Amino acid sequence: MTRETLKARITRTRAIMKRLRNTYPEAHCELNFSNPLELLVATILSAQCTDKRVNLVTPALFQKYRTAADYANAPATEVEALIQTTGFFRNKARNIQACCRMLVEQHGGRVPRTMAALHALPGVGRKTANVVLGNAYHLNAGIVVDTHVARVTRRLGLTRQTDAVKIERELIPLVPRAQWTLFSHWLIWHGRRRCVARRPDCAHCEVATLCPRIGVK
């Protein structure tokens, strides 16, 4: 099979985006939050855990801890107990508290608005930083690459990479910057609702005619 040129891949990506936008016009971040700190904490909790599970845990968590200082000063065992069902709860509690201590000490308790400052926080990688910037601050600093985005973009032949940072680097030239955040939402919704991991519903897929179905048996 002839390798697709960058120009052709851009054209196909824009066509895929149009179909996904029409299919999921209401696509949004499915983590519940009301401010940047809540989204930061929820995104840390979402590692190797479903958004639905995180959304079951965060109401009590957000009611108890309203500020970064609240998290930083809480007993570790108390935080662990509240987030236990999200998995890896000790490590997540440690990251959340260390992150919030840095917010208090270096940012006046506020969640920063730049990739560099967010990425410097304990437990915060590019994915988490992109989620916060794109959804709490409406800043398109990058493209969120979670497991759904990684799987769907490989199946679509938009990348051959497996590393999230490398996938993001290859997707950025394909998508207009103004739509980076929405692009992730469309792919995530499609990955959860149609292009699932084990048995993708290719027969009813809205982008089937644009998809080479890489890796699908």
CB count in 10 Å sphere of residue 169: 15
Structural contact between residues 42 and 31, judged by C-beta atoms closer than 8 angstroms = yes
> Considering 18, 51, 70, 146, which one is annotated as catalytic?
146
Neighbour-count burial for 19-58, b at 16+ CB within 10 Å, e otherwise: bbeebbeebebebebeebbbbbbbbbbbbebebeebbebb
Indicate whether 1 belongs to any domain.
no
> Considering 127, 163, 166, 201, which one is annotated as catalytic?
127
pLDDT in tens, 83-104: 999 999 999 999 999 999 999 9
146 is catalytic: yes
pLDDT band at 142 (very low <50, low <70, confident <90, very high): very high
pLDDT score at 3: 80
pLDDT band at 217 (very low <50, low <70, confident <90, very high): confident
Residue 150, pLDDT above cutoff 70: yes
In a shared domain, residues 67 and 159: no
18 is catalytic: no
Q: Which two tokens stand for residue 207?
A: 């982008």
In which domain, by residue range, is 191 found? 6-28+143-210
In a shared domain, residues 119 and 157: no
pLDDT in tens, 170-189: 999 999 999 999 999 999 99
CATH number where 149 lies? 1.10.1670.10
